[in-house]
Amino acid sequence: MVIRRFVVAGMSLAVTLGAAVLPAAAAPLADPPPTPPSRTHATADRAGHRLAVPPARPGSGRTALGDAPDIDVAKVQAHLTELNNIATRNGGTRKSSGQGYRDSVAYVKAKLQAAGYTVTEQPCTSGCAWGAGPNLIAEWPQGDATKVYMFGSHLDSVGAGPGINDNGSGSAALLETALTLAERHPAMAARVRFGWWTDEEQGLNGSDFYVNSLSSAERAKIKAYYNFDMIASANGGYFINHIGSAAAQPMKAYWDSLGLQPEENTEGAGRSDDYSFEQAGIPTSGYALGADARKTTAQAAKWGGTANRAYDSCYHQSCDTTGNINATGLNRSVDGIAATLWQLAVGSSTPANDFSLATSPTAGSVDPGASVTGSVSTATTSGSPQTVALSASGAPAGVTVSFSPSSVTSGAGSTMTVATTSATAPGTYPLTVTGTGSTTHTTTYTLTVKGAGGCTGQQLLVNGGFESGTTPWTGDTGAIGAHTGQSAHDGSRFAWLGGYGYSATDTLSQSVTVPAGCRKATLTYWLHIDTAETGSVAYDTVKVKVGSTTLTTLSNTDAAAGYTQRTLDLSPYIGQRITLTFTATEDSTLQSSFVLDDAALQTG
């Protein structure tokens, strides 16, 4: 967290940006560093942000606090265990510029995508620390899109530790709340959007970038933003941001129902990502259990714990592990998050119309030129039956998928026919079957085309020139973009792996099926290597792998001006589903940049 000094009504108030909080009774921190010039802020008029967020009323179409689910805190703790494991595998940290952060993004993203969220990685292209990974934004695709309630937490840690309370606690609580919302699938009165922020510990940079990227119309859609930063402090108290505001009322009502007597989060004022939203005029609130300020005698009498001891004695230290978690406080926080979300965004108890989708069997084999059939079943899972339109995607060249009938009323079924031509390349292909009604559901059917067959030459990699966002690449997708300091081989975007000047690893992967009927498969890519290293020792490397097999290794010793096209024979992998990975690794000093563009995997 960055300590920063504000002047409010002629008084000096020391506050810290990041995941912590300092209680009203705590003494100001002594001699904090000055505010960085790039991050200066005007004095906040906090009363001016108490904008209306009306409580639920009979007939309002919203649920009451008591209708919210009880979030399983054990599942939240399981997420924390995985975040701790990620840090352990990456030098004990999940700092925004490291692999630990990117692995954290990948973990959260995979859970959300599997649950049906619309998930976006947003690279922070300005204002963030060098090499910082992306923000992760997830939206539940139901409810009034003009009314958005946003819930956020920073996902990065400091470099000194794994950051399990600061701020794995907020991140894991939001993840499990999001997964519970998807599982319950209630009718929605408004949209719910979740944000996991990068580079908070360096100055709220990720959330600043997100808010500044919104148009005025998009900002206006966000009716309130709720922030959760350090919600499991071992000696914690119960603090609410802007506790007297309308935005805070659902949160306060839940903790009041537990008899907790929460207090204003004065320690956290201006120190976490809610401040980015607050500066844009968006109502904000949130929970916190405290950081390195000390619990007062009165607070210890009210909440328990130890007076005159920090709320979190492991704040910004290596001991901020899963052993630093207050499970009771975490449970009360995550249940309050769910209560707030349900009251603000979930509709009445009348279930939404919804359905399920399945194929039987889930896989089929066919000779080239033949066809295979299966059945698609639907069922009404809530509300009334509805019309469901059926479609399929992901079919390779020479394969068509049809449905009879092409739309059904939920509860009815359809016959799916998958037809091939004699030129269809043998191989295994995952087809996505989609049912579209008031909601959309998908399921996977795995098609295997048998025999030697023929081969239609094709280019298998998708978005190999990186001009179309980051999909379907996985891994450190923040490396993809139109970055200042390097240039593309063609177009405007490329993947910049490495270039940090300290120990770091970047990876980019894509999975493809190499058709079995082809004689040859050739990988080509353009690579530019520049380095500050000297001599003939390979300190920094870039490897190309298929699965766990390294096909080639290049290093700082291969640096040259401009791009060089590289070629690899992937013919040994014909007929297989493979994962192609580019991995750049730097040592502790002197940068080497491995700039990748225009990758292609051609069969013939």
Long-range CB contacts for residues 319-324, cutoff 8 Å, separation at least 24? 319/161, 320/157, 320/161, 320/162, 320/163, 320/164, 320/165, 320/166, 321/84, 321/161, 321/162, 321/164, 322/77, 322/80, 322/81, 322/84, 322/164, 324/164, 324/165, 324/232, 324/234
Alpha carbons 100 and 85: distance in angstroms, whole number: 9
Strand partners, 446: 363, 430
- Mean pLDDT over 25-34 rounds to 31
User: Does 121 participate in catalysis according to the annotation?
Assistant: no
For the cut 50, the answer to whether the pLDDT of residue 29 exceeds it is no
When pLDDT is averaged across residues 115-134 and rounded to a whole number, the result is: 91
DSSP string, 123-180: ---SSSPTT---EEEEEES-S-TTSEEEEEEE--B-TTS--IIIIIHHHHHHHHHHHH
Following DSSP, what letter does each residue of 13-42 receive, concatenated? Answer: EEEEESS----TTSPPPSSPPPPPGGG--P
Q: pLDDT band at residue 234, thresholds of 50, 70 and 90?
A: very high
- C-alpha to C-alpha distance for 252 and 261, rounded to whole angstroms: 9
pLDDT digits (tens, 9 = 90+) for 12-25: 333 333 333 333 33
Say if residue 42's pLDDT is above 90. no
In degrees, to the nearest 5, what angle opens at C-alpha 288 toward C-alphas 287 and 293?
A: 155
User: Active-site residue among 200, 201, 267, 278?
Assistant: 200
Alpha helices for 45-137 (secondary structure H): 73-89, 99-115
Based on C-alpha coordinates, what's the Rg of the chain?
26
pLDDT in tens, 188-233: 999 999 999 999 999 999 999 999 999 999 999 999 999 999 999 9
- Please name the amino acid found at residue 183: E
Q: What is d(CA 259, CA 247) in angstroms, rounded to the nearest whole number?
A: 20
- Whether the per-residue pLDDT at 76 is higher than 80: the answer is yes
Mean pLDDT, residues 145-160:
97
Confidence category of residue 326, pLDDT binned at 50, 70, 90: very high
Mean pLDDT (whole number) for 98-120: 91
Judge whether residue 26 has pLDDT over 90.
no
CATH dotted code for 354-449: 2.60.40.10
Sign of the alpha-carbon dihedral angle for 124, 128, 130, 132: negative
* CA gap 352, 382 in Å, rounded: 6
- Residue 393 pLDDT exceeds 80: yes
Q: Which amino acid is at 159?
A: G
Instruction: Quickly list DSSP for 515-577.
Output: -TT-S-EEEEEEEEEEES--SS---SEEEEEETTEEEEEEEGGG--SS-EEEEEE-GGGTTSE
First to last CA, the chain: 55
Residue 11 has pLDDT above 60, yes or no: no
Q: Which of 451, 445, 391 is nearest to 421 (CA)?
A: 451
Confidence band, pLDDT 50/70/90 cuts, at residue 424: confident
pLDDT at site 328: 97
As given in the structure block, the two tokens for residue 312 are 């979190």
3-state secondary structure of 425: coil
Q: How far apart are CA 5 and CA 15, in angstroms?
A: 6
Domain boundaries, given as residue ranges, for the chain = 64-345, 354-449, 458-603
pLDDT at 350: 52
Give residue 442's pLDDT.
83
| Tens digit of each residue's pLDDT (9 = 90 or more) over 356-392 | 888 999 888 888 888 999 999 998 877 889 999 999 9
User: Which of 83-87, 432-436, 594-598 bottoms out in mean pLDDT, i.e. has the lowest?
Assistant: 432-436
Average the pLDDT over 29-50 and give the result.
30
The Cα 496–Cα 479 span in angstroms is 5
Nearest CA to 580 among 498, 499, 513?
513
Query: Which pLDDT belongs to residue 24?
Result: 33
Q: Average the pLDDT over 436-447 and give the result.
A: 85
* Percent of the chain at pLDDT exceeding 90: 69
> Does domain 64-345 bear CATH number 4.10.80.400?
no
- Give the tens place of pLDDT for each residue, 459-502: 999 999 999 989 999 999 999 999 999 999 999 999 999 999 99
Higher pLDDT, residue 418 or 348? 418
For 458-603, CATH gives 2.60.120.260
**Whole-number average pLDDT of the chain:** 86
Residue 586 above 70 pLDDT? yes
HEC states along 436-503?
ECCCEEEEEEEEEECCCCCCCCCECCCCCCCCCCCCCCEECHHHEECCCCCCCCCCCCEEEEECCCCC
- SS3 of residue 276 by DSSP: helix
- Compare 51 and 85 and report the one with higher pLDDT: 85
Q: What angle do CA 39, 43, 49 make, to 5 degrees?
A: 105
pLDDT of residue 93: 96
Tokens standing for residue 251: 């949160």
